Structure 1
Amino acid sequence: MTNEEKPRTTRRLAFAGVAAAALAAGLAGIYVIGGEDGNTQQVAACAASAEIADAVAPYATGELAAFLPARERRSFADLRFQDDTGAETTLGALPPKLRLVNLWATWCAPCRKEMPALDALQAELGGDDFEVTTISVDQGGTEKPKGFLDEIGVSHLAFRQDPTMKIFHDVRAMGRAPGLPSTLLLDRNGCEIGALMGPAEWASEDAKALIRAALEAAGKQTQESGS
C-alpha cells in the first residue's frame, strides 16, 4: 500500500466503523421517542409492522439491496418537523398511510441526485395509501431547499423541513441515520417497516416492487381488521 492510499483506507475504515456502531445501537433494543407510557403504547401499536417487514424482505434486492427490513418494533410517529406553512407537526399527525420518509439537504450531493426519483415514485404510486415524505434539514430559511426543488422540476412532493436538524439527530440516535440521505419506510401508525441508509434509485422497478409489496401486505391487514 502506498503512502497516498493509506489516508483513503483509514477514512473508509473510520466511516464503516461509525456506520456499524450506529446500526448496532439501533438494533440493541426497542427505542422510541416519547415518555415511558407513550413508548409502551407505540410499541404495542407496531406489532403489525413486523408482518409487513417480513412481506417486503424478499424484495430487498437489486437497486434496493441495501434496504434493511426492521427487526424490532420501533415507532417514529413522534418525530417533529415543519410543514409547508412553517407550522410544527409530527409524522403521527399526518394522514395515516404508508410513508417513505426521506431526510435530505441541498449540501448533500447524493440527496440532490436521488430527489427526481423520489418525485417520480410519488407521481406513480402516491395517493390515499402511500406517500413519499421528504424532509429537508437545511439550516436557515426555506429559500435554498425550495429553490433547488423548483430548479430540478420537483412537483409531486409536499415541502417539509426541520432547520434545527433535530429530526436527523433523533433518527441517528435510533441507529437509522449515520448520514444523509437516510430513508425510512413506515406503516400507517408511523412504525418502522425498514430503512435504507444512503442513496437509492427510488424510481426503479425494484423500488416500486418493494413499495407495492408493502401496500399489499398493509391492505391485507386492513381487510382482516375490518377497518
Structure 2
Amino acid sequence: MVSFGRRGALGLLAGGTLGAALPQRPARAQAIGTLREEGPKALPEFALTDPEGVRREIGHFAGKGVVLNLWATWCPPCVEEMPALDRLSALLAGDGILVIPASSDRGGRAQVEPFYARTGIRNLGIWLDPGSAAMRAFKARGLPTTILIDREGRERGRLEGAAAWDGAALLADVRRLCGDGQKATEPV
C-alpha cells in the first residue's frame, strides 16, 4: 500500500521511489493487507464520476453490492492488483455486485483510459474520484484501499493494500459481504 504518512513523504524527498520499498512477490500473491470486516456501518457522503462523465452519489447504487477500489495509475500496488479486480468484475457479472475502481489520478479519464488499454483491462469502467473526495470521505490511509459495500448501502469490510481479488477466499468474502452470499440466477 502506498501510504501518505510523514515517513513516506520524507522518503520521496530524500530521493526514494514509491516502488523501491515494495516486496517482490508473484503477480497472483494473496492479499498483503487483511480484509477487516466492519459494521455494518453507514457510508460517508461522497460522489464519483461514472464512465459517461456523470457525477454519481452513493445512492445511485442502491440494491447492489459494491467493491469500491480507491487507486491511481502511479501507485505500484494498485497497478499490480488491477488485473485481479478486472477478473473479479467478470466473475461477479451475474451477482448484482459492481466492481468500481475509483481513480484519483489528476489526469482523469485521459490518464486512466490508456492505462486500461495498455494493461488489457476489459471488464472495469473508468470511474474517477475527482480531488480524492471519496478517499478523504472514507479516511483512507493510502492506496489501494478497497471498501466492501452491501446491498443496503453499508460498509461491511475494508482491505488496505493490494490483493488477489479473484482468489477463491476473497471472492467468497465479497459475495458474502456485498451480496446475498450466493450467485444470482439472473443477471442484475
Normalising to structure 1: TM-score of the pair? 0.62
Contact 2:47 2:57 in 1 (8 A): yes
Change (3 A) 1:154 1:199: same
| Percent of aligned positions that are identical | 33
Please report how far the alpha carbon of residue 169 of structure 1 lies from its aligned counterpart in structure 2 after TM superposition: 1.3
Contact 2:66 2:150 in 1 (8 A): yes
Q: Deviations over 1:111-170 (max 9, x none)?
A: 011000000011112235211111111113311111101111111112110231122111
Change (3 A) 1:205 1:183: same
Q: Deviations over 1:41-90 (max 9, x none)?
A: xxxxxxxxxxxxxxxxxxxxx648700110462224x3211111222111
Q: Which has the higher strand share?
A: 2
The separation in 2 between residues aligned to 1:208 and 1:110, in whole angstroms, is 19
Which amino acid letter does the alignment assign opposite residue 196 of structure 1? Answer: L
Whichever of the two has the greater Rg, that structure is 1
The separation in 2 between residues aligned to 1:218 and 1:99, in whole angstroms, is 15
Please report how far the alpha carbon of residue 11 of structure 1 lies from its aligned counterpart in structure 2 after TM superposition: 4.2
Give 3-state SS (helix, strand or coil) of 1:126's partner.
coil
Which amino acid letter does the alignment assign opposite residue 105 of structure 1? Answer: A
Q: Which has the higher helix share?
A: 1
Normalising to structure 2: TM-score of the pair? 0.74
Aligned-residue CA RMSD in angstroms? 2.5
Contact 2:40 2:154 in 1 (8 A): no
Contact 1:64 1:206 in 2 (8 A): no
Gaps of 5+ in 1: 1-9, 15-61, 220-227
The structure 2 residue matched to 1:169, chosen from 123, 127, 136, is 136
Q: Does 1:101 align with 2:64?
A: no
Aligned pairs, number: 157
* Residue equivalent to 1:130: 97
Change (3 A) 1:72 1:203: closer
The separation in 2 between residues aligned to 1:167 and 1:73, in whole angstroms, is 16
Q: Does 1:68 align with 2:36?
A: yes
Gaps of 5+ in 2: 1-5, 11-29, 184-188
The separation in 2 between residues aligned to 1:105 and 1:79, in whole angstroms, is 18
The separation in 1 between residues aligned to 2:65 and 2:38, in whole angstroms, is 15
Please report how far the alpha carbon of residue 95 of structure 1 lies from its aligned counterpart in structure 2 after TM superposition: 5.1
* Residue equivalent to 2:146: 183
The separation in 1 between residues aligned to 2:166 and 2:182, in whole angstroms, is 21
Q: Does 1:110 align with 2:110?
A: no
